[in-house]
Structure 1
Amino acid sequence: MALDAPAARRSPRHPAIRALAVAAAVALAYWLPSWLGGSPLTYGFFVTLAIFSVMAVGVDIVLSYLGEVSLGHTIFWAIGGYSAAILSTSWDANGWITAATAVGLAVLAAAFLGWATLKTREFVFSLATYAAAVVAGEIAFNTDALGGSDGIVGIPALRLPLGFAEFSGRSNQELWPLALLLLVLSIYFVDRFRRSRLGTEALMVQMNPPLAIASGLDIRKVRFRVFVVSAPITALAGWLYGYQRAYVGPDMFDMYFLTLMLTAVIVVGRRVLLGPLIGVALILLQQNYFSIGGDGNKVVLGAVLAFVLIVWPQGLAGLARRIWRARAQPRS
């Protein structure tokens, strides 16, 4: 059986042209907030866009390449935020230390959660990961060392010593280069992952488990590795989000973030490299420029997720392909 993403193994015919195009796109993205006025609100929108897109990338890896719906990625998201908050406020740790801690704890949490849940399949796995997220949220809400229900406030500005200088993120404008870099690296990672052996094995496990077993693959090990790989990405998004807000609390386990992750991936379509970015952009545009209130926006978000799953399960990318095929067919 042929895999659904043969393009993932094809190398570009003109890598130099592709590299120039990517560099131009990144440069354009870097200057775009300034060209749009450069206000704190504009920079805040773009930093949030980058952070939420990276957050969704972690879910995209599990959903698109394993076909599993993880409802526990808010755990990794919160681990990133709490790592930044606790270490920077209590130990005056710089950003390198807090980021490394966030990644390490996320890997450990994913390894434990994966070991405990990946023996199950489909909705059982989803329910197990969701239950783990609920338990983690209650622990954060009731643990004084984690700030309890009030959370942790007063997170200092992000500091990243670079040897010859120090990067400081005191505002969204200063955080934007780092947020953009994190987004670019996350997209690059997914691009490499989909071309990797693990990415190919994950697709085989999703699309044809009997063939995967006949090929000598251990399905549980593949699912475990992919799940663990996805966790640090979402954790780093939570890490930067903590510095952006200067506050973390139990609200990081809120259903809003989980729904946003899933909607951002599903609304565009699975295995679309820029899908999470486009999906988050559509969501934030609605919430910032066509808002109907906090609770109303959550209703819209949930309604969009349900509508796409029912009407367009292949997402906007699948709809576009269907329209393209219809236009390409010769008329009788």
Structure 2
Amino acid sequence: MTAIESPQPASIPFLRLAAVAAFVVIGFLLPRLLGGTSVAYSTLTTIAIFAVMCYGADIVLSYLGEVSLGHTVFWAIGGYAAANLSVKYGLNGWATAAATIALCLTAAAFLGAVTLRTREFVFSLVTYAAAVVAYEIAFNWDAVGGSDGIVGIPPLKLPLLVTNFSGAMQEDLWPIAFALLLLTLAFIARFRRSRLGTAALMVQMNPALAASLGVDPRRIRLAVFVISAPITGLAGWLYAYQRAYVGPDMFESYFLVMMLTAIVLVGRRILLGPLIGTALLIVQQNLLSLGGDWNKIVLGSVLALVLIFWPAGLVGLYRRITKKT
């Protein structure tokens, strides 16, 4: 039998499955492995939530090559949906999550349709303008809390078949945050291999060729933008339950810079890239903090340094170093 005819070793899929299983088990047990303290649970829950937030923007940046400065809108939609519907109407987590998805899809479809004819710099400006408008509405509209926001968000409640989950503590929220992260990773992995993901890369790299092959660049751009929104929105949804408060600060540039930095720090189109980037940034802020303003300076400086000196991220830097040695 020739090398060409040789089948792929059956052990490879098994090893891949074993690696995924080990990642899931170790990831879930990581807070206990780090001591089981409230700080460990809180830090890892925040990392999971912020990583999911970043994956929404990552789809647009990595696969369309566009910088969306408006994803804080979807992040805030998730938070405000959870806060308003749980505080005012007593809805449980399933209902507020469903509302988050519906509202994010609607807002993304509208904003995506508006920006269909824009590219690059203009696209970024229009999405940023949308975030500014949304901030002003949230800040001045008393129906959604106004400048004071909404306090007293009740613990997350997710009725299941035989029990009623209640996320009153950070330890309780960790399984939900970890499950949301796993679902996001599975979705991104599937998207990377899908026709839509392939078409999005084609549209980014050679729009003329994509059009000649029957791919409609506008339809692809709109579809990718729309599916990215609920990912970031669900992160905002869980973040609202984590801190029991939602306010106009969810539109702050800090969250936008966090998204962009976490995406580019490790390297684009790397499945675990935004997760690792988020973990590095949150660990610095929570465990090696220099203070509120200094943490923001560090975050902005890291983004600037990566974009200027290592545009391919740490993975690109590693590859460049290994080629020289």
TM-score of the superposed pair, with normalisation by structure 1: 0.94
Q: Give the total of aligned pairs.
A: 317
Partner Cα separation in structure 1 for residue 244 and residue 324 of structure 2: 50
1:118-137 counterparts in 2 under 5 A? 118-137=116-135
Residues of 2 paired with 1:15 and 1:115: CA distance?
Answer: 41
Other-structure match for 1:108 = 106
Please, which runs of 5 or more residues in structure 1 have no aligned partner?
1-11, 328-332
Q: Which residue of 2 aligns with 1:26?
A: 24
CA RMSD of aligned residues (A): 1.2
**Residue of structure 2 in register with 1:302 after alignment:** 300
1:210 Cα deviation after fit:
1.2
Name the stretch that deviates more: 18-27 or 142-151.
18-27
1:189, 1:219 → 2: CA distance? 22
Return the alpha-carbon distance in structure 1 between the equivalents of residues 168 and 117 of structure 2. Answer: 44
Equivalent position amino acid for 1:29 in 2 = G
| Map 1:1-332 → 2, pairs under 5 A | 14-327=12-325
1:159 partner amino acid: K
| CA deviations over 1:178-218 (Å, ceiling 9, x no partner) | 10010011011110000000000000000111111111111
Q: Distance in 1 between matches of 2:116 and 2:290?
A: 39
Instruction: Render the CA deviation track for 1:70-94: whole Å, top value 9, x for unaligned.
Output: 0000000001001100010111101
Structure 2 residue identity aligned to 1:41: V
Gaps of 5+ in 2: 1-9
What letter is aligned with 1:225?
A
Deviations 1:75-126 (A, max 9, x none): 0000100110001011110110000000000000000000011210101000
CA distance in 2, matches of 1:118, 1:135: 19
Alpha-carbon distance, 1:17 to partner: 2.5
TM-score by length of 2: 0.96
Residue 160 of structure 1 aligns to a residue whose secondary structure is strand
Cα distance in 2 between the residues matched to 1:267 and 1:142: 36
Measure, in 1, the Cα distance between the counterparts of 2:150 and 2:85.
11
Letter paired with 2:305: F
Which shifted more, 58-67 or 318-327? Answer: 318-327
Per-residue CA deviation, residues 136-167 of structure 1 (Å, 9 max, x unaligned), is 01100000011001100000000111121111
2:303 and 2:121 map into 1 onto residues whose CA distance is 17
Instruction: Give yes or no for contact 2:52–2:184 (8 Å, CA) kept in 1.
Output: yes
AA paired with 1:299? I
